Amino acid sequence: MTVAPASFRSVLEVRGLTVRLPERADRRFAIEDVSFEVAAGEIVCVVGESGSGKSVTAYTVMGLLPRGLVPVAGEVLLEGANLLARPAAELRRLRGRRMAMIFQEPMTALNPVLTVGAQIEEVLEIHTTLNAAERRARVIAAMREVALPEPEQLYHAYPHQLSGGQRQRVMIAMALILEPALLVADEPTTALDVTTQAQILALIRDLQRRHGTAVLFITHDFGVVAEIADRVVVMQHGRVVEQGPVREILFRPRHPYTRMLIAAVPGLTPPERPPVSKPPALVVRGLSKVFEERGWFGIRRRVEALRSASFAVRHGETVGVVGESGSGKSTLARCIVRLLEPTSGEVEVAGHRFGAGTRRIDRRLRRDVQIVFQDPYRSLNPRRTVGQSIIEGPMNFGVPKAEALARARSLLRIVRMDPDCLDRYPHQFSGGQRQRLCIARALALEPKVLIADEAVSALDVSVQAQVLELLDEVKRRFDLALLFITHDLRVAATICDRILVMRQGEVVEEGPTREVFATPRHPYTRALLDAAPGKGVIFGAASSACG
Amino acid sequence: MWGYVLRRLLATVPVMGVVVLVVFLILRLTPGDPAAVIAGDYASAADIARIRSQLGLDRPLLEQFLTWLAQVLRGDLGTSIFTNLPVTTLIAQRLEPTLLLALTTITFSVLVAVPLGTLAAWRAGGLLDRCVMLFSVAGFSVPVFVLGYLLIYLFAMGLQLLPVQGYRSPFTDGLGPFLRHIALPTLTLGTVFVALIARMTRATVMDVLHEDHVRTARAKGQHELRVMTRHVLRNAAVPIVTVIGLGVALLIGGVVVTESVYNIPGLGRLVLDAVLKRDYPIIQGLIILFSFVYILINLVIDLVYTLFDPRIRY
């Protein structure tokens, strides 16, 4: 075993690290001349947007780069030993023992066909000579330390039987069981709900302090940075643009990119908004959805995904629906646009009522209510040009092709895209551009109601701010009723006039955004607000743009 | 789980019902008088009449069907027209070589194809991968009988390593002679399976290799070989097992040709002989047997899924 001499201040030292991309990539190097250190007992956050090279940095440290990416210069020193110069077998002995990693997606990062106990135990099988009984005891102890309930029973559970938070706890137990000197965490809370995220961040913080672990924490979220970091490394286009202590970076950022990133994080204090007094465009009355799984002998499982939701959205008003996964907010959206058939209740759009149980869906609903989805990579047909996707809707409603095309061109100008984009395919655009195209597609039908279902959640913060601004602008321009579904309270605070808080299929609180944020009445709303990462730091320098 | 097995077994009843009905109609819908066909070119009218009444063809169709169905349900598949032996006896006599050939073929194919496919996926795009894929295409394209005679020419006549033809039972002649005689038929019949299973394994393993949990296993410091066996192959198992199951249907066709080429006295030869002589009761019996085996294998495959994937529960 390599025992680190006490004189080593840094557990991890990265010096002038450069990683080459395969040929034909859009740039030569994934990361270039990256240098930073992580000391024992310190959490260093590497922050950046997609393509900044933060994940490549983490994977280079672990020696887990995908084929094609090659470190060509620099050093990665773990407890003084240069990992890049070590043979593969030695790296393998270090992984899991002296350095460990946790990942973004706790569902897919665990092997679905092995019990979680066996997967934690595997680390001990690889690196220790403990016998089966000793290993088991260590695993149970590790599971207890990450506060997993009833570890003896949970040992035999499979990943799909656990919640997202529990799975991430299993990952953490697995990573820390041999008390590695370095923990690399790649966006470990990004896929989790806010309340779960707060718990996992607290757990990492707590364990790291207790064991004196050095943590390299990769994130795109400045809220999380504010919550957990001791020091921050900011990366852009594969280079480190700024690094320093967390207070320094958050309150006195020097590099314009850092300033832009911090300014783009929406604040948690909603701006003053005058109430909207126009007539309602969308009225939802007692909308419910029950999912039933039928077995051979009657109903096996019954889930009330949506329980009698009632509310209205006025022309020119933005109503936010916030809640965690499983709260029923997406079911609500899908029931309104009738991608799902509601079990009971009705939806009224511009004076027309659409009740539950009518088999044939009125085409007026299809035209008047449009939806923009979360993932701009998957919601455009990859084999059709952008133009074909945009004009398809209007042409279905009898608009001649020439007119539809003219409308598409003017819409592209409104969403600030070049009208010549019409002949190109979705893969030729970035995520933010695609989301603009999705908005243009939705607007092409001249809807009265626009539903944005987590429409900015998959985007980088800087792009997110622009798309939010665009949504606000088109809402005013076309006098739309905007139903904005999000799990992100900061985003909701920025754009919404009023807010509905959902939990387990039920609307538990409703009111003007400012009021809900300032004086939340329901305990769940309070819990959500408390869990928002980085709430101690005032963000939101740029959010006035949408005010 | 046992409830599921019971339900699935019950569900085979209507399927077998359809099989039995179709088999029954095959005989009745054959162009011309089956009795005349059976009796042959030099039969007298009396001979044909005798065969007609022997087959029960002079009675109403429904009655014929019910009588025959009752027989089948009692396990009586009728009597061979030419040998005058009960069909069940004939099948029992021929069962051993075919079962053992099927067993050696499947074992051989899985043992060769799964590692081959896995290696190809692990080094996708490399020389080994391209060789495996080339072999796979060739294995699909070469007809069983061509391959059979080619192998005989090479190993039996050229190198004189293995016997040309025939079958030895492991129970009466010993394991050595059995293996020497079954080697070439297994290779002949197995090639197409190796091609099929290797292709499927390669595709599935390549998918699984991109999954996040494989990265997790590597991050633990797990050895690459153990990553492949413990993490990748178990996750790739379900599609591979499916193909192996489907392959059994292919096997039935392959057995007929292979047993003819190597002169093995198995069910495949029985099928061939029965078809050539138009021995309808034997054909009926064999179709019913093969259908039932196929349905059972599918049930077994579905149950095997649960061994590999805990998310599949019935």
Contact A123 B221 (CB under 8 A): yes
How far CA A281 is from CA of A22, A344, A502, A511, B214, in Å, comes to: 52, 20, 21, 18, 50
Spatial contact of A520 and A529, defined as CB atoms under 8 Å apart: yes
DSSP line for A102-135: E-S-TTTTS-TTS-HHHHHHHHHHHH----HHHH
Q: Which amino acid is at B94?
A: R
Tell me the pLDDT tens digit for each residue of B39-63.
Answer: 777 778 888 888 777 777 777 878 8
pLDDT at A543 over 50: no
Q: What is the mean pLDDT of residues A251-259?
A: 93
Tokens of A327: 């709260």
- For chain B, the C-alpha Rg in angstroms (whole number) is 24
Distance from CA of A44 to the nearest CA of B (A): 20
Give me the helices (H) in chain B, please.
2-29, 34-39, 45-55, 61-73, 87-122, 127-141, 144-151, 175-209, 212-219, 224-226, 234-261, 267-277, 280-308
Classify residue B108: in a domain, yes or no. Answer: yes
Stronger pLDDT, A134 or B150, i.e. the higher one: A134
Give me chain A's average pLDDT, please.
Answer: 88
pLDDT at A5 over 50: no
A473 in the Ramachandran plot: left (φ > 0), alpha (ψ -120 to 50) or beta? alpha
CATH 2.30.110.10 at A7-98+208-264, yes or no:
no
Q: What is the mean pLDDT of residues A45-52?
A: 89
How far CA B131 is from CA of A208, A514, B116, B128, B195, in Å, comes to: 50, 67, 10, 5, 12
Tell me the pLDDT tens digit for each residue of A194-220.
Answer: 888 898 999 999 999 999 999 999 998
Cβ contacts of B212 on chain A, cutoff 8 Å: 103, 105, 108-109
pLDDT at A546 over 60: no
Question: Do B58 and B154 share a domain, yes or no?
Answer: no
Cβ contacts of A95 on chain B, cutoff 8 Å: 218-221
- Lowest-confidence range among A154-158, A423-427, B252-256, B284-288? B252-256
Q: How confident is the model at residue A547 (pLDDT cuts 50, 70, 90)?
A: very low
Question: Do B213 and B162 share a domain, yes or no?
Answer: yes
pLDDT at A383 over 60: yes
Quick check: B212 contacting A, CB < 8 Å? yes
Stronger pLDDT, A289 or B249, i.e. the higher one: A289
Residue in A95, A111, A160 closest to B231 by CB: A111
Quick check: A155 contacting B, CB < 8 Å? no
Residue in A92, A101, A113 closest to B309 by CB: A113
Question: Do B170 and B62 share a domain, yes or no?
Answer: no
Domain of residue B221, residue span? 93-308
Tell me the pLDDT tens digit for each residue of A395-444.
Answer: 999 899 999 999 999 999 988 888 888 889 988 888 888 899 999 999 99
Tokens of A17: 């690290």
B 66-85 → A contacts, CB under 8 A = none
Question: Do B173 and B295 share a domain, yes or no?
Answer: yes
Q: Quote the CA–CA distance of A150 and A146 in Å, as a whole number.
A: 12
Classify residue B14: in a domain, yes or no. Answer: no
Q: Which amino acid is at A374?
A: Q
Question: Do B255 and B283 share a domain, yes or no?
Answer: yes
Q: Which amino acid is at B54?
A: Q
Spatial contact of B298 and B241, defined as CB atoms under 8 Å apart: no
pLDDT at A542 over 50: no
Q: Quote the CA–CA distance of A447 and A455 in Å, as a whole number.
A: 17
Question: Do B23 and B145 share a domain, yes or no?
Answer: no
Q: Quick one: pLDDT at residue A34?
A: 95
Q: Quick one: pLDDT at residue A298?
A: 60
Contact B213 A92 (CB under 8 A): no
Q: Which residues pair with A240 in a beta bridge?
A: A235
Spatial contact of A286 and A310, defined as CB atoms under 8 Å apart: yes
Q: Which amino acid is at A217?
A: F
Question: Do B31 and B169 share a domain, yes or no?
Answer: no
Question: Do B63 and B102 share a domain, yes or no?
Answer: no
CA A245 to chain centre: 25
Question: Do B170 and B269 share a domain, yes or no?
Answer: yes
pLDDT at A544 over 50: no
Tokens of A522: 């329901």
Classify residue B2: in a domain, yes or no. Answer: no
Element (H, E) at A302: strand A299-314
pLDDT at A4 over 60: no
Quick check: B311 contacting A, CB < 8 Å? yes
Quick check: A123 contacting B, CB < 8 Å? yes
Domain total of chain B: 2
CA within 13 Å, CB half, B198:
29
Domain endpoint, select from B7, B38, B73? B73
Domain boundaries, chain A: 7-98+208-264, 280-546
Q: Terminal CA-to-CA distance of chain A, rounded, Å?
A: 59
Residue in A95, A103, A113 closest to B234 by CB: A113
Q: Quote the CA–CA distance of A241 and A264 in Å, as a whole number.
A: 17
Question: Do B122 and B23 share a domain, yes or no?
Answer: no
Spatial contact of A36 and A15, defined as CB atoms under 8 Å apart: no
- Number of Cβ pairs closer than 8 Å across A and B? 75
In a 3-state reduction of DSSP, which class is residue A13? Answer: strand
Q: Quick one: pLDDT at residue B294?
A: 85
Give me chain B's average pLDDT, please.
Answer: 85
B 223-242 → A contacts, CB under 8 A = 223, 230-231, 234-235
Contact B308 A111 (CB under 8 A): no
Stronger pLDDT, B164 or A339, i.e. the higher one: A339
Q: Which residue from A minimizes the CA distance to B220?
A: A96
Tokens of A409: 């061109």
Q: Quick one: pLDDT at residue A3?
A: 45
Pairing of strands A231-236, A43-47: parallel
Q: What is the mean pLDDT of residues A177-204?
A: 90
Classify residue B140: in a domain, yes or no. Answer: yes
**How would CATH label the architecture of A280-546?**
3-Layer(aba) Sandwich (3.40)
DSSP line for A206-263: HHHHHHT-EEEEEES-HHHHHHH-SEEEEEETTEEEEEEEHHHHHHS--SHHHHHHHH
Tokens of A347: 């939806």
Question: Do B115 and B214 share a domain, yes or no?
Answer: yes
Helix axes of B144-151 and B234-261: crossing angle, nearest 10 degrees: 70
Q: Quote the CA–CA distance of A363 and A365 in Å, as a whole number.
A: 5
Q: Quick one: pLDDT at residue A181?
A: 94
What lies within 8 Å, CB to CB, of A67 at 6+ separation is none
CATH number at residue B188: 1.10.3720.10
Spatial contact of B163 and B156, defined as CB atoms under 8 Å apart: yes
Pairing of strands A449-453, A481-486: parallel
Q: Quick one: pLDDT at residue A482?
A: 95
Tokens of A464: 């997110």
Asked if domains A7-98+208-264 and A280-546 share a fold, the reply is yes
Tell me the pLDDT tens digit for each residue of B17-32.
Answer: 888 888 888 767 766 6
Q: Quote the CA–CA distance of A304 and A321 in Å, as a whole number.
A: 18
Place of tokens 């959490």: A43
How far CA A76 is from CA of A63, A73, A91, B153, in Å, comes to: 10, 10, 12, 61
Q: Quote the CA–CA distance of A499 and A492 in Å, as a whole number.
A: 8
Quick check: B210 contacting A, CB < 8 Å? no
Spatial contact of B286 and B271, defined as CB atoms under 8 Å apart: yes
In a 3-state reduction of DSSP, which class is residue A433? Answer: helix
Q: Quick one: pLDDT at residue A56?
A: 92
Spatial contact of A307 and A272, defined as CB atoms under 8 Å apart: no
Tokens of A165: 């938070």
Classify residue B48: in a domain, yes or no. Answer: yes
Quick check: A101 contacting B, CB < 8 Å? yes
Backbone angles phi, psi at A357, to 5 degrees: 90, -10
pLDDT at A48 over 50: yes
Q: How confident is the model at residue A279 (pLDDT cuts 50, 70, 90)?
A: very high
Stronger pLDDT, A181 or A1, i.e. the higher one: A181
Distance from CA of A158 to the nearest CA of B (A): 7
Q: Quick one: pLDDT at residue A359?
A: 62
pLDDT at B114 over 90: yes
Classify residue B303: in a domain, yes or no. Answer: yes
Q: Quick one: pLDDT at residue A247?
A: 92
Question: Do B34 and B107 share a domain, yes or no?
Answer: no
Q: What is the mean pLDDT of residues A28-57?
A: 92
Q: Quick one: pLDDT at residue A545?
A: 37
Q: Quick one: pLDDT at residue B37?
A: 67
In a 3-state reduction of DSSP, which class is residue A74? Answer: strand
What lies within 8 Å, CB to CB, of A476 at 6+ separation is A316
Residue (of A148, A20, A4) closest to A77 by Cα position: A4
